[in-house]
Amino acid sequence: MPSFGLAFGVMLLIFSSLIYPVVRMLRSDPSFLKKALSEVLDCREGEPVLVPSSSRLIALAGLIVILAVDGGIATVILRRLAEGTPLPELDKVNYFLICQAGLFAPYAVAKLAEVIRLPFLKKASAGDPPPAQKNQ
């Protein structure tokens, strides 16, 4: 089946173009993955103290599984498009993909809150005394 080969080739090209920057990053900084899978416990002498994070490891494993499932769905869709056969109803697939995205919502909200909170923390920790309170 030439359509399967075409769909597989396209998906392999997409996967290769996405994985190449990650491989380059890992080669340039071998401790990148260790840092990514660790959380900062505290800072000592200006250096962060990193501890392994099981939740980040589980999230990485889940991300790999989700990407594999999504790649399989995309391969089937590309194959059907290449064959010219009609696609099945995709409303259930859309629901499935939205549910997958919902798994990462807590991480996204936590990071967004961290980004919003950081400028305020930097201002407060700049060494300025707190504003004087009015006597009532």
Give the model's confidence band at 10: pLDDT under 50 very low, under 70 low, under 90 confident, else very high: confident
pTM: 0.59
Contact 81, 87 (CB under 8 A): yes
Question: How would you label 26-42 residue by residue, b for 16+ Cβ within 10 Å and e otherwise?
Answer: eeeeeeeeeeebbeeee
Question: From the CA atom positions of the chain, what is the Rg in Å?
Answer: 23
* Predicted pLDDT of residue 128: 52
For the stretch 84-118, pLDDT in tens is 888 878 777 888 888 888 877 887 788 788 778 76
Longest dimension (CA), the chain: 84
Percent of the chain with pLDDT over 70: 84
Tokens in use for 20?
């190449």
List of residues 6+ apart from 1 with CB closer than 8 A: 83
pLDDT in tens, 61-89: 888 888 888 888 888 888 888 788 888 78
